Structure 1
């Protein structure tokens, strides 16, 4: 950069260009390294009000949400609400790996296939009412 009230010289312009190149190169290396370390997460909003979450009034297991994922560890965060009583479970490729009751729960699952299906099912365990579930998956 030039000094105040002095014209730029060829040397000062060259130094400024070199400085900018160093900044750009360091930023590019950091971004490339971070991108190589971890894949970009997929984010999506869910309804905030429980009355808008997927739900069931059936006493039989009913699939409510589904996710396809790649191999690795996945943390599934479940929020389960019910009018009277109910439960939810997480299935990995059709096999139940965890069953939870009303409340917030974290379930860690391992996806081993090239493409693994995670499904959250719910059922009513009380006499009447609806069980509603929202689920978030965080790749580890």
Structure 2
């Protein structure tokens, strides 16, 4: 995976984790009804949206892994648009459903990327050792 795409997916995962942190102290519906919390959730939704948008451009193969990635982008955009009268029930459903699903997907994608990196590092070390440049 492209390092920039991996970095962006990490940003999205951190933002989703922040949203969970902001919304787990009380019933999600009651908590999101508070203007301060809704504002705190709005920013990370923008981060998720932008990070995933850039990651999908930087690493086109992600569209094959996550063909519904555009749906998450649209969902984030819709949920961030408070002035257009987003129903609180829709926001609760999005945070409690879609974002939790994507949190798992992003974590798995980053885990696989780290495993690929570890395998590549091991292969490079083997090749360097074979060439006589190994650690002493």
Whether the TM-score (by the shorter chain) exceeds 0.5 is no
Give the TM-score range, shorter chain.
under 0.3
The TM-score, its normalising length taken from structure 2, stands at 0.27
**Highest CA radius of gyration, 1 or 2?**
1
Going by fraction, where is strand more abundant, 1 or 2?
1
The TM-score, its normalising length taken from structure 1, stands at 0.27
Going by fraction, where is helix more abundant, 1 or 2?
2
